Amino acid sequence: MAEEEKQVMKEETTEKPVETPENKEAKEERIEATEQYVQKRVKSIVFSVLSPKMIKEMASAKIVTPELYDKEGYPVDGGLMDIRLGVIDPGLRCKTCGSKLKECVGHFGYIELARPIIHIKFVSIILNILRSVCRDCGRVLIPESKIEAAKQKLDKVEEETNAETRRKEVKSIIASLKTINKCPHCKATQQKIVLDKPTTFMENEKRISPIEIRARLEKIPDSDLEVFGLNPKAVRPEWTVLTVMPIPPVTMRPSITLESGERSEDDLTHKLGDIVRINQRLFENINAGAPEIIVEDLWDLLQYHITTFFDNDVAQLPPARHRSGQPLKTITERIKSKEGRIRHNLAGKRTNFSARTVISPDPMLALNEVGVPDIIAMKLTVPERVNEWNKAHLKKFVENGSNKYPGANYIIRPDGKKKKITDETKEASLEELQPGYVVERHLMDGDVAIFNRQPSLHRMSMMCHRVRVLPGRTLRLNPAVCHPYNADFDGDEMNLHIPQTEEARAEAEILMEVQTQLISPRYGLSVIGCVQDAISGNYILTRNMEITRDQAIELLASIGIVDFSKLPRKEKISGQEVFSALIPEDFNFTGKTRDGTEVVIKNGKLTEGHMDRNNLGEGSGLLLRNIHKRYGKDFAIDFLGKVFRLGIEVLLRVGFTVASSDTDLPEDARKNISETLRIAEEQVNELIDLYHNNKLETFPGKTLQETLELKILEVLNKARNETGALVAKHASPDSHTMLMANSGARGNLLNLAQMAACVGQQAMRGKRIEKGYADRTLSCFKKGDLSPASRGFIKNGFKTGLEPHEFFFGAITGRDSLMDTALRTPKSGYLYRRLANAMQDLKAEYDGTIRDSAKRIVQFEYGEDRLDVSKSENGTLNIKRIIKTHL
Amino acid sequence: MSNVFKDYEDKFPKNIMEGLKAYIPKDTSETKTRKILEEAWKEYQEACVEAGECVGLVAAESIGEPGTQMTLNTFHFSGVAEMNVTMGLPRIIEILDGRKKASTPMMEIYLKKPYSAGKDIRKVALSIKETLFSEVATGFSINIAEGVIEAQLDREKMKDIGITDAILGKQVGNHLKKGYTLRISGDSMILKCRSKEEALNELYKAKEKIKTIHLKGVKDISQVLPVRRGEEYIIITAGSNLRDMLQLEEVDSSRTTTNNIFEIAEVLGIEAARQAIINEVFKVIESQGLNVDVRHIMLVADTMCTSGMVKGITRYGVVSEKSSVLARASFETPIRHLINASLVGETDNLNSVVENVMLNQPIPVGTGLPGLVTTLKSEKKKDAKESN
């Protein structure tokens, strides 16, 4: 991290870290590092600026030479890779703490600068202070009597905005007091100070040297610092001008050894090398009494190197580059931006025990299961602690080893040593296994796993599933849970995480399992429902199907129902009765289908209406919501799984396909359609004629042209809707395309009309297509042509085929919508990130208020009635139902 | 009956209580009513948010997730009005950014009694509309030699809008620099410069200025459209000026509103602005056919307004108010936040989410919130020993 901020960690030192005694014997056997236990908890972090004294105190080495390694390739003492700064080579031991690679966190060093250097990140504050402070006595340019009042005023400014505006305000206060030219304390006249960017301060065209700056800053009394909002305990202004510089530990700038055996140093090391080299030269020149100019030049060069060490993206400076020409990545670049330390490594982390592959559907899995390929199951493990009762059970896994399923990959001794199970170590491991040991066994059916698909936009993007180990190479999931993940199977990949501790497993099971996420916290309805074929199937079944009892039993058996007592004892059984077999006896429900007819479920029997998307689909209708409320989450998910499979099984029996003949229309219908389109075109031509003859009546507030466009659009839209209505009238309601449209499984009437009759007007930004050549859209039209065809009206249907120009217009709007999606995604992503960042620490307190992390109240009552949306029914408490059930 | 309800009056929130009162049949016996209320109370308590629930993030998810499904469709025809209004994602971004200027300001003006029924609706609408000088002028000509600007007036239009020569003369006179004489004769208005020395570009500037002189109506209202909504007539305008509009006699000031949140905050106060944010965001989400509960939008609006000013969800607004240095740094401009924190000597007490994620510690929401109080076996022994 940046050196300028000293980060003192106040730790609760209740327990001392228990270091496991190094056992020599164990060391040889050990394959992986020992487990680390957290004994401390950071309570707070204090930020402040490092004082020169502090820099020296925390340093474990003084760096005096730019050399890195000696002839043998061993780090030079007092060089930048000094092993007192930590070790990055295996086999070496740190001279400061005695630990080895990976154990030693690294230690700071320091260099003594030959001349003071301005820290680039503090330039603005230095300028601010210099301008508001007397050049002679170092007091703020505010008379003693007014300092208190000024402080109060500034405190208020800071509270309302931030510390930066406060500092700007200081200047304007001084300006208003007219003390800018003369110090009210010592009466010395003040000069105008300007900043010659990036780091040179000028007073009356004369340069103020950093030495002078530092001297002036030193003179400011602590009491006056408060005016600037500086905390004298955290920072003295002169510390912003460096006299010593900390050298970051080598562990944060490790060198990499290339294949050729050549060493490649980190960017920071390069930069530090420059600094040390120039610093040494500056020392030598000063000591040798070199001419002022040479010293000044070196001084400036040192300033440049130190500036670019902290920030290589300063506006007025050329960035320091590699020999290859690409700019060096120095401290600021390391921290900031998405790929920087904060967002990449601190706010986001990587995990072990996870897997990722392509997903594929398997409706035979339960909704809360995930099919895991056996290859993955043998890599991912679950730690299980050995005790008297499961010892025999776990021994079997160890016996199987890591190559035979179900086996185990590691055993962990009570002291935390991890041991891999191989053919050689198997026997020994079996022998030593005893209570207290942990076996990392292969993933097995019923284990909990967290399943996730990016982008993880809501909490249903990460749900807990039960593992089902299956052959194959893809992760399998029930297609009904695609919706919350927003997944499809065109090559989507998903991630699987295996919780490793008992707490994590418990949380995953209780809070994250699929059935607990059934109700969306966004709108209080089911997010998981039937989709596509499952809806079509149930629609066909419950609408007008009749099957024999044997068929019904076979159908129900295929979805895993064994109790057929609900089926009426008669020869022919209606689809509604089959569906009713899934519904509990005491369930009552009334709802609406998509076409407005009533759905009635009385005492567990579907007596009226049929099933479609309104009742079975996600995010709509209350059937699923009511079942969930009444019978609980586990029943709801089971019910949904059965209904889903029922739909598919029905389709498997009746057969379901989309045919070209679905879009066939009778001869007179086709004539009607072309007639409608012809009339529309005529009307448009009339309008155009009127327009050319200036006889068109304009709408208020519109130009003649706009009026024409609006009228034409109206005519054409009407025509298209008429053709749509004609198609709807003539298309067979039993065709599978219509079935899908009517049940809401996929597609709508418009899609059918576009296939069968007429695609219609292609619109961009709510207008007909206007872009293209001068006065015309495409070169195949005449100039000034305003006819429907030349402005993007497609009168053919997809089945008859499009004219070349029509196809082109379709491509225009297609491309436009692609652009739209491509531009929208990052925009909405950024909005989401901002929202999440601003609101992530708002939580409900025990007193029912909503507060932020500073305990400021944001809402006194959540949503004005405290209702949790995910526990509500579409955002409300269903009063009518409560009254009905208890009346 | 009524005293049964009274017992529960304080327990239920207002809207649920009202629902209960409305739906429980009047002839229900007291014991039965009590039972229903008791059951409702139980269900209500079960449906309440639990302590530690991370409501903020849920709200953010609930708005952010459908954001990806929204169309960028900036322009949307609001019914027959044919007036362009920013809708969709850009509008949401605009509201949550807390931008001072709406990109398409709009007002909905409700009228008082006789006018709301449609009396003189066109006339009222036209009287609201801002008329600039350029609208009543058909042409301008500049005579360089004599330093004269001549504007041809559209008499018919002036009559329509109701601008007399007197109004014209007064308004133009008020806005002009000294040194011009004004004369209206017939169909033209003649402006003469007293000092003939006036340079050409000065004359030209004067001409341009005359064009934008406000003659009549309410400032900033560029278009008006009377629309029938339900039983009454309202006026929809492009352009917004709430303060002046509320002063008008015909306007029903209790219902008239604008889509410019800052104007509402300024004129009607922060609570009104909060409600405006909720309404505006909800309107957009609804128009896109998406289903998002109001509670989430409420929470966003509340976070924007808690400070007493409308603050956007940006690094300058809500995020800059966070108490934790690391939380601010993890959002945007991390270096700036770290530097400033070090100068002030800020302490981060690690009581929000990101900081604890950074340090690999349990986060203080949800299940990370409660601590477990238990005595370990070894401690027990120690305690026993100490007491001995």
Complete DSSP assignment for B240-254: --HHHHHHSSSB-TT
Taking the CA of residue B200 and the nearest CA in chain A, the distance in Å comes to 33
Among A467, A486, A491, A277, residue whose Cα is nearest residue A373? A467
**B6, pLDDT greater than 90:** no
Looking at residue A362, what DSSP letter applies? -
Q: What pLDDT does residue A3 have?
A: 42
Nearest residue, CB atoms, B93 vs list A336, A511, A827: A827
Q: Which residues contact A822 (CB under 8 A, 6 or more apart)?
A: none
Tell me which architecture the domain covering B53-104+259-309 has in CATH.
Orthogonal Bundle (1.10)
The residue in chain A having the minimum alpha-carbon distance to the alpha carbon of residue B367 is: A507
Which residues of chain A are within 8 Å of residue B238 when distances are taken between CB atoms?
A: none
Among A598, A614, A596, residue whose Cα is nearest residue A606? A598
Rounding to the nearest 10 degrees, give the CA dihedral for residues A725, A726, A731, A732.
80
What number does CATH give the domain B131-216?
Answer: 3.30.1360.140
Q: Which of B339, B360, B361 to mutate to probe the A interface, most A CBs <10 Å?
A: B339
Nearest residue, CB atoms, B350 vs list A43, A234, A511: A43
Taking the CA of residue A867 and the nearest CA in chain B, the distance in Å comes to 4
Q: What is the pTM of this model?
A: 0.87
**B137 has which bridge partners?**
B153
Q: How far apart are CA A881 and CA A865, in angstroms?
A: 19
Taking the CA of residue A524 and the nearest CA in chain B, the distance in Å comes to 8
* Per-residue confidence band for A397, with pLDDT thresholds at 50, 70 and 90: very high
Q: How far apart are CA B322 and CA B170, in angstroms?
A: 54
Question: What average pLDDT does the structure give for chain B?
Answer: 81
User: Is residue A491 classed exposed, middle or buried when 0-12, 13-18 and 19+ CB atoms within 10 A define those classes?
Assistant: exposed
Residues of chain A with CATH 2.40.40.20: 354-513
Which residues of chain B are within 8 Å of residue A886 when distances are taken between CB atoms?
A: 32, 35-36, 39
The residue in chain A having the minimum alpha-carbon distance to the alpha carbon of residue B316 is: A161
Taking the CA of residue A473 and the nearest CA in chain B, the distance in Å comes to 31
The residue in chain B having the minimum alpha-carbon distance to the alpha carbon of residue A45 is: B348
Q: What pLDDT does residue A383 have?
A: 94
Rounding to the nearest 10 degrees, give the CA dihedral for residues A202, A205, A206, A212.
-20
User: What is the mean pLDDT of the segment spanning A533-557?
Assistant: 91
Which residues of chain B are within 8 Å of residue A38 when distances are taken between CB atoms?
A: 360
Q: Which residue has the tokens 């499809």?
A: A488
Q: What pLDDT does residue B136 have?
A: 76
Taking the CA of residue A522 and the nearest CA in chain B, the distance in Å comes to 5
Interface touch A834/B313, C-beta < 8 Å: yes
Q: Determine the straight-line distance between the first and last CA of chain A, rounded to whole angstroms.
A: 67
A420 close to A370: Cβ distance less than 8 angstroms: no
The first and second tokens of residue A15, run together, are 């327990």
Q: Which of A516, A625, A831 to mutate to probe the B interface, most B CBs <10 Å?
A: A831
Please calculate the CA angle A271-A273-A275 and round it to the nearest 5 degrees: 75
**A852 has which bridge partners?**
none
**A702, pLDDT greater than 90:** no
The first and second tokens of residue A518, run together, are 């059934």
B221 close to A701: Cβ distance less than 8 angstroms: no
Question: How far is C-alpha B279 from the chain's CA centre?
Answer: 8
Least confident residue range of A260-264, A296-300, A813-817: A260-264
**A24, pLDDT greater than 50:** no
Interface touch A877/B51, C-beta < 8 Å: no
Interface touch A827/B72, C-beta < 8 Å: yes
* Per-residue confidence band for B126, with pLDDT thresholds at 50, 70 and 90: confident
The residue in chain B having the minimum alpha-carbon distance to the alpha carbon of residue A619 is: B291
Interface touch B350/A42, C-beta < 8 Å: yes
Amino acid A496 reads L
Q: How far apart are CA A515 and CA B344, in angstroms?
A: 49
Taking the CA of residue B346 and the nearest CA in chain A, the distance in Å comes to 6
A/B interface, count of CB pairs below 8 Å: 340
Among B225, B106, B297, B8, residue whose Cα is nearest residue A862? B297
Amino acid B384 reads A
Characterise A495 by phi-psi region: left (phi > 0), alpha (psi -120 to 50), beta (else): beta
Which residues of chain A are within 8 Å of residue B306 when distances are taken between CB atoms?
A: 856-858
Interface touch B68/A828, C-beta < 8 Å: yes
Q: What is the pLDDT of residues A586-608, one digit of tens each?
A: 888 888 888 888 889 988 888 88
What number does CATH give the domain B322-388?
Answer: 1.10.150.390
The residue in chain B having the minimum alpha-carbon distance to the alpha carbon of residue A7 is: B342
Rounding to the nearest 10 degrees, give the CA dihedral for residues A504, A510, A511, A513.
100
Nearest residue, CB atoms, A882 vs list B14, B36, B291: B36
Taking the CA of residue B366 and the nearest CA in chain A, the distance in Å comes to 8
Q: What is the pLDDT of residues B316-368, one digit of tens each?
A: 888 888 888 888 888 888 888 888 888 888 888 888 889 899 988 888 888 88
* Per-residue confidence band for A460, with pLDDT thresholds at 50, 70 and 90: very high
Q: Which of A879, A881, A886, A887 to mutate to probe the B interface, most B CBs <10 Å?
A: A879
Nearest residue, CB atoms, A859 vs list B302, B340, B360: B302
Q: What is the pLDDT of residues A244-255, one digit of tens each?
A: 999 999 888 888
Among A436, A466, A433, residue whose Cα is nearest residue A448? A466
Q: How far apart are CA B12 and CA B44, in angstroms?
A: 8
Q: How far apart are CA A95 and CA B57, in angstroms?
A: 47
Which residues of chain A are within 8 Å of residue B24 when distances are taken between CB atoms?
A: 883
Interface touch A44/B40, C-beta < 8 Å: no
**A218, pLDDT greater than 70:** yes
Specify the 3-state DSSP secondary structure of B210: helix
Q: Which residues contact A50 (CB under 8 A, 6 or more apart)?
A: A3, A4, A5, A6, A239, A246
Interface touch B330/A343, C-beta < 8 Å: yes
Q: What is the ipTM metric for this complex?
A: 0.87
The residue in chain B having the minimum alpha-carbon distance to the alpha carbon of residue A875 is: B293
Q: Which residues contact A683 (CB under 8 A, 6 or more apart)?
A: A715
User: What is the mean pLDDT of the segment spanning A504-521?
Assistant: 92
The first and second tokens of residue B250, run together, are 């015909």
User: Is residue A161 classed exposed, middle or buried when 0-12, 13-18 and 19+ CB atoms within 10 A define those classes?
Assistant: middle
Q: Which residues contact A474 (CB under 8 A, 6 or more apart)?
A: A357, A358, A359, A360, A371, A373
Taking the CA of residue A601 and the nearest CA in chain B, the distance in Å comes to 23
**How many CB atoms within 10 Å of residue A337?**
14
DSSP-derived pairing of the beta strands A475-477 and A354-361 = parallel
Amino acid A722 reads E
Least confident residue range of A446-450, B171-175, B224-228: B171-175
Pure H helices in A386-475: 391-400, 426-432
Q: B80 or A102, which is more confident?
A: A102
Q: DSSP labels for B112-150?
A: -HHHHTTTTHHHHHHHHS-EEHHHHEEEEEEETTTTEEE
Taking the CA of residue B180 and the nearest CA in chain A, the distance in Å comes to 34
A839 close to B60: Cβ distance less than 8 angstroms: yes
**A26, pLDDT greater than 70:** no
Characterise A19 by phi-psi region: left (phi > 0), alpha (psi -120 to 50), beta (else): beta
Interface touch B345/A235, C-beta < 8 Å: yes
Q: DSSP labels for B74-103?
A: -EEE-GGG--EEE-HHHHHHHHHHT-SS-S
Residues of chain A with CATH 1.10.132.30: 660-818
Pure H helices in A161-256: 163-177, 210-219, 222-225
Which residues of chain A are within 8 Å of residue B286 when distances are taken between CB atoms?
A: none
Q: How far apart are CA A221 and CA A204, in angstroms?
A: 25
Q: How far apart are CA A377 and CA A385, in angstroms?
A: 19
Taking the CA of residue A520 and the nearest CA in chain B, the distance in Å comes to 9
Q: What pLDDT does residue B279 have?
A: 92
A134 close to A224: Cβ distance less than 8 angstroms: no
Q: Does domain A354-513 have CATH number 2.60.40.10?
A: no
Which residues of chain B are within 8 Å of residue A511 when distances are taken between CB atoms?
A: 366-367
Q: Which of B225, B235, B295, B332 to mutate to probe the A interface, most A CBs <10 Å?
A: B295
Nearest residue, CB atoms, A163 vs list B93, B299, B340: B340
Nearest residue, CB atoms, B65 vs list A522, A710, A850: A522
Which of these CATH numbers, 2.70.180.20, 3.40.1640.10, 3.40.50.300, 1.10.274.100, describes A533-654?
A: 1.10.274.100
Q: Which residues contact B284 (CB under 8 A, 6 or more apart)?
A: B87, B88, B91, B92, B95
For residue A632, what are the CA distances in angstroms to A601, A627, A638, A758? Answer: 18, 7, 10, 48
* Per-residue confidence band for A15, with pLDDT thresholds at 50, 70 and 90: very low
Q: What is the pLDDT of residues A624-654, one digit of tens each?
A: 888 888 898 999 999 999 999 999 999 999 9
Q: Where are the domains of chain B?
A: 2-46, 53-104+259-309, 131-216, 322-388
Q: What pLDDT does residue A254 have?
A: 86
Q: How far apart are CA A420 and CA A401, in angstroms?
A: 9
* Per-residue confidence band for A35, with pLDDT thresholds at 50, 70 and 90: very low
Which of these CATH numbers, 3.40.50.800, 3.30.2320.80, 1.10.132.30, 1.10.3720.10, describes A660-818?
A: 1.10.132.30
Which residues of chain A are within 8 Å of residue B8 when distances are taken between CB atoms?
A: none
Rounding to the nearest 10 degrees, give the CA dihedral for residues B163, B168, B174, B178.
170
Q: How far apart are CA A770 and CA A353, in angstroms?
A: 56
DSSP-derived pairing of the beta strands A381-385 and A857-859 = unpaired
Most confident among A747-751, A809-813, B181-185 (mean pLDDT) = A809-813
Least confident residue range of A636-640, A858-862, B134-138, B234-238: B134-138
Interface touch A6/B32, C-beta < 8 Å: no
Q: What pLDDT does residue A27 have?
A: 39
Q: What pLDDT does residue A12 have?
A: 37
Taking the CA of residue B156 and the nearest CA in chain A, the distance in Å comes to 16
Which residues of chain B are within 8 Å of residue A507 when distances are taken between CB atoms?
A: 367
The first and second tokens of residue A122, run together, are 């503090």
Specify the 3-state DSSP secondary structure of A306: helix
